[in-house]
Amino acid sequence: MRNLFVIIILLTGGIASLTAQKIEKIGVAELEEIIASQGDVLHVVNFWATWCPPCVTELPYFEKLSNEYGGKEVKFILISLDFPSQIESRLIPFLKTNKITADVRVMTNIDYNSWIEKVDSSWQGNIPVTLLFNNARKVRHFHPSEVTEKELRDLITRFNSN
């Protein structure tokens, strides 16, 4: 019986495909907690949506680098600005199709103007944008547009150096 279970897992693509990706819903308070994180870790926080073509273009770079840098003092958080009501119907299928396994959260407060300044005072509301920070080292960089894989890697290297 155990061998049959292993064969089924292998044929279906592994245990990860047996369950849907857990998507955490966050509000302004949780966003503020993320931004206030005090650990000596470089946070790479990307704001994106499934309906945003430049976001979709850069998403594989975040996935690839989150796998490369996992456990190396870099924490990736991808904050989706898709409607919370579309998590099951749109977001989870999108993540599965595009093999995105990084930490994805959904902002539940869709009144963006009420909280975008908490991320960066220069943010005009466009996406994608990326915030890199390490509060323990007083490092903070706001990237107000799409990034290439090389740009993202260079930013991580620059802000994660000792």
Q: Is residue 11 part of a domain?
A: no
Q: Is residue 1 part of a domain?
A: no
Task: Name residue 76's beta-bridge partners.
Answer: 44
56, pLDDT greater than 90 = yes
Q: Is residue 100 part of a domain?
A: yes
Q: What percent of the chain has pLDDT over 70?
A: 86
Give the number of domains in the chain: 1
CATH of the domain at 96: 3.40.30.10
Q: Is residue 87 part of a domain?
A: yes
Structural domain span for residue 68: 21-160
9, pLDDT greater than 80 = no
pTM of the predicted protein model: 0.86
Q: Is residue 8 part of a domain?
A: no
Q: Is residue 48 part of a domain?
A: yes
Q: Is residue 16 part of a domain?
A: no
